[in-house]
Amino acid sequence: MAIHYYYQSCEHAECKEKSCREFSSRRDYNESIKRNRKWRCVKHSQPEEYLSKNNLNTKVELIVIQKESGKYWQYVEDAGTDKVRGGFIFGTGYKASADEFDIGTKLTVTANIELPE
């Protein structure tokens, strides 16, 4: 079985980031090309979360909600919508399963960059 690769460059004018997606069928590959969605790297699609010398801090808040299929983490700003982050979330230094907490439990994840003097 052949694997087909689809490469895209970030649509931001000065960015050199690229993505590579792989498809197990030619049909899936062709459908992806037909959609021709523009792509932005994390730095340009989520600039508020991308830490840099110009953005030294980031903070996100999530709460545990109940859905028919179980408990999930949801961004506080998405409350009242169907958008969920997932039942298990993780990052460097933390891991949390929504099933282990009561509905309404809040998780705050903060990251700070400290530049040398």
Q: For 96-108, what is each residue's pLDDT tens digit?
A: 999 999 999 999 9
The closest alpha carbon to 5, from 14, 63, 103, 19, belongs to 19
Alpha-carbon distances, residue 60 vs 10, 49, 75 (angstroms): 25, 9, 7
Domains in the chain: boundaries: 4-45, 57-112
pLDDT digits (tens, 9 = 90+) for 8-47: 899 999 999 999 989 888 888 888 777 777 889 999 998 9
DSSP conformation class of 52: B
The closest alpha carbon to 62, from 45, 94, 38, 85, belongs to 85
